[in-house]
Structure formats: structure tokens, C-alpha cells
Copies of this chain bind each other. A is one copy, B any other.
Amino acid sequence: MTTITTIEPPSKRAEIREAAAQLFRDKGYAATSMRDLAEAVGLKAPSIYNHFASKEEILRSICFDNAQRFLNGLSQIERMPGSAADKLRALIRLHILIATEDATSVIAINDEWRHLTEPYLSRFVAIRREYEQRFKAIVEQGVQCGKLRNVHPHIAVHTIFSSMRWLHDWYKPGKSITPTDIERDIEGILMEGLVCGE
């Protein structure tokens, strides 16, 4: 008699990854032990190594997949027709969307990536810098054509990135303040603050 036991193995790796992202968010990467993680998914610590080669591979998986999501969104927005202000608005929506949909993973890309070791650390920093540069190019274009106020693009970009960095910590589905409220208010503050009035 053959028993089918190979239906769910692809999801076990994902389950561990999700639990790890949660723990990294709550306690940080360094303070999370493989025993904590094992307990969270109902295994013993050594069994984790059947799914990931090391603790760092889990962090790596979270960081690079999440970075890809931001990069894909950015690529789509770059190809979009519309003014720099339109693109900026779309970028703000992208950040809010990812922060509310994938809150546990976002913390990793924000804070825990520094625990990556070489050569992955350098690679991650390069991806991050690339994202920042391409985001900055859109702001620069908006400033040059006079659609955006005359601010340092570097300051504008980091202010935008940062201004949504509390969402993943605070947001949980079912709050009285909805994602729609969040989007309207944050988008309002940043767009009014950046786009030229007259």
C-alpha cells in the first residue's frame, strides 16, 4: 500500500519562512534561536536543516524575495505613462500595499538585512542602492520639470521610505483604521508636501 506523503512538502519551507519572519520581527534575527523557530513550527531544531541549510539562508530568502517585490513594482511604475507626480503617487501606493499585505517580511528588508554575511550582504546593499537610485531619478525628474517642490531628492526619497516604516509594525487586518484610510492620509500628506501648489 502506497501512502501519499508528498503533497505538502513545498509548503513546509514556506511555513518555516513565515514563522521566521514573524520571530525576526518580534525579537530580531540575532535574538531568535533555531530552537525558538523549531518550536513555532512544531519541530525539533535539527529538523529545520532539512529545509534550510542555515539560519542565514532563511534570512536571505526573506530579504531577497521581498526586495524583488519592490523592484518588480518599481519596474512596472517606470514603464507607466504619466508625470513624475503620478509615478510618485504610484510608488507611495506600492509601499503601502506591500507593508499592509506582507508586513512580517517587510521588517526583514528594513532592519535585519544587516545580519547577512558576505557575499550576500554586498549583493543586498547593491540591490537596495539600485532601488533607491531609480526611485530618486523619478523625484529628480519631477523637481526638474517643476512639478515637485525644490527639495533635495535624497532627503525626499528617504523621508518617503521612512514615513511608511511604522505600518508593518502597527497594521493588522481588522483595525478600525482601514488600509483605505491609511492610503488616503499618507498619500495626502506626502503628495501635498511634495507636489507644487500654486
Contacts and interface: CB of A to CB of B under 8 A. Distances in A.
Interface of A: 26-31, 111, 114-115, 149, 151-152, 154-156, 158-159, 161-166, 170, 177, 181-182, 185-186, 188-194, 197
A159 B149 contact: no
A185 B193 CA distance: 10
A189 B185 contact: no
A193 B188 CA distance: 7
Contacts of A163: 159, 162-163
Contacts of A194: 189, 192-193
27 contacts: A26-B114, A28-B28, A28-B114, A28-B115, A30-B30, A31-B115, A111-B111, A149-B188, A149-B189, A151-B188, A151-B189, A156-B185, A156-B189, A159-B164, A159-B186, A161-B166, A162-B162, A162-B163, A162-B166, A163-B163, A188-B193, A189-B190, A190-B193, A192-B192, A192-B194, A192-B197, A193-B193
